[in-house]
Chains A and B, each alone.
Chain A
Amino acid sequence: KAGVTQTPRYLIKTRGQQVTLSCSPISGHRSVSWYQQTPGQGLQFLFEYFSETQRNKGNFPGRFSGRQFSNSRSEMNVSTLELGDSALYLCASRTGTHSYNEQFFGPGTRLTVL
């Protein structure tokens, strides 16, 4: 079974631009979560989607948004990019949203904002 895939793997943008990242979950997984990883803040939760609905949200500004499609693929969008948005963005998928559902992570998208 294929793992979680994320595209693109690397991205360079300039301040003020917007960016869209994509995540394809493991087949059969209906929940997708997004995390941001930076050297200063570590790994922080952005949001989780299940059945095309946002179920949980972390403490990030409204510039960070996401959506999920009927095939469970998810996209994350960041508008008006800032230098501090440079990070590794990881997505994780699991079968459902129960606490016992283990999360499986993708390889990440490295975003650099210049």
Chain B
Amino acid sequence: KQEVTQIPAALSVPEGENLVLNCSFTDSAIYNLQWFRQDPGKGLTSLLLIQSSQREQTSGRLNASLDKSSGRSTLYIAASQPGDSATYLCAVQKTGANNLFFGTGTRLTVIP
């Protein structure tokens, strides 16, 4: 069974800091890994999707890396802003499965 864990569960940083969110998964037979953002009471916004053959993806101030063999992914956020405050979720799609397995999430607060 695929288990996805995110550390830390919550993180507070002052505005302007660079930060790293971690995601680990137990089964390395994944097709892709996706990072989402969720604002309180809202749906999920896709941030980055990394195919299993890729090592990283970048979008603006966000950079996600994937090390499939060790079962880890990181989301790097540069120059954090108060608007980045949200819960960040990683999700993996196992090879041969169509659904996503979600992590427990990291609640990020960026303090002005």
A residues whose Cβ falls under 8 Å from a Cβ of B: 4, 6, 33, 35, 42-45, 48, 55-56, 58, 88, 90, 92, 97, 99-100, 102-108, 110
Tell me if B93 counts as interface (CB < 8 A to partner A): yes
Query: Besides A99-B96, A100-B31, A107-B43, 9 other CB < 8 A contacts?
Result: A42-B103, A56-B97, A58-B99, A90-B43, A90-B44, A99-B95, A100-B32, A102-B49, A103-B46
Known: A99-B31, A102-B34, A102-B49. A45 touches B43 (CB 8 A): no
Complex CA distance for A45 and B91, rounded to whole angstroms: 11
Indicate if the CB atoms of B89 and A48 lie closer than 8 Å.
no
User: What number of A-B contacts does a CB cutoff of 8 Å give?
Assistant: 59
Minimum CB–CB distance from A68 to chain B (whole Å) comes to 14
A109 to B53, CA, bound (A): 35
| Segment 1-50 of B: residues with Cβ below 8 Å from A | 31-32, 34, 36, 41-46, 49
Looking at chain B's contact residues, is the secondary structure mostly helix, strand, loop, or mixed? strand
Q: How large is the interface on B (under 10, 10 to 19, 20 to 34, 35 or more residues)?
A: 20 to 34
Q: A56-B97, A58-B99, A100-B31 are in contact. Are A43 and B43 (CB under 8 A)?
A: no
Bound-complex Cα distance A100 to B95 (A) = 10
Interchain CB contact under 8 A, B99 and A33:
yes
- B105 and A56 within 8 A (CB): no
Closest to A45 in B: B99
- Please measure, in the bound complex, the distance between the C-alpha atom of A9 and the C-alpha atom of B30, giving whole angstroms: 33
Q: Is the CB of B46 within 8 A of A104?
A: yes
Cβ A105 vs Cβ B49 within 8 A: no
A87 to B15, alpha carbons, bound, how many Å? 32
Closest chain-A Cβ to B54's Cβ sits at a distance in Å of 12
Residues of B within 8 A of A45 (CB): 99-101
List of A residues within 8 angstroms of B105 by Cβ: 42
Q: Is the CB of B99 within 8 A of A108?
A: no
